[in-house]
Amino acid sequence: DIVMTQSPDSLAVSLGERATINCKASQSVLYSSNNKNYLVWYQQKPGQPPKLLIYWASTRESGVPDRFSGSGSGTDFTLTINNLQAEDVAVYYCQQHYNPPWTFGQGTKVEIK
């Protein structure tokens, strides 16, 4: 199984500042035949289902503000939230779908400092 490890577990960022969340896979999730990373990022607010933010590790889902960006390849990935807004308070998860079992990071809680 591919183990996904996020860091940090939580972070507090001032409004307007940048939040950076890391996600490390225990093995590569880059599919060589299409050069795509099978890695997505979600945002989840209390009482709500996850919301897809980023797919293919760096492609923003339609309607997601451009302050959210994803980067990385292979085993190391980053979700960056620029100009943090109050509505960005949530838990963020990375998930790989390279191979079943699909696995998640443990989540990173983002709060306002």
Partner 1 sequence: EVQLVESGGGLVQPGRSLTLSCTASGFSFGDYGMSWFRQAPGKGLEWVGFIRNKASGGTPEYAASVKGRFSISRDNSKGIAYLQMNGLQTEDTAVYYCTRYGSAWVDAFNVWGQGTMVTVSS
Candidate ranges 18-26, 38-46, 65-73, 80-88; the one touching partner 1 (CB under 8 A): 38-46
Least Å distance, CB 52 to partner 1, is 5
Q: Which is nearer to partner 1, 42 or 75 (CB)?
A: 42
Q: Contact 104/91 with Cβ under 8 angstroms?
A: no
Binding to partner 1 (CB under 8 A): which residues in 71-110? 93, 95, 97, 100-107
Going by C-alpha positions, the residue among 70, 90, 80, 82 that lies closest to residue 29 is 70
For the chain, the straight-line distance linking the first and the last C-alpha, in angstroms and rounded, comes to: 36
Q: Contact 110/19 with Cβ under 8 angstroms?
A: yes
| Binding residues vs partner 1 (CB under 8 A) | 38, 40, 42, 44, 48-52, 55-56, 61-62, 93, 95, 97, 100-107
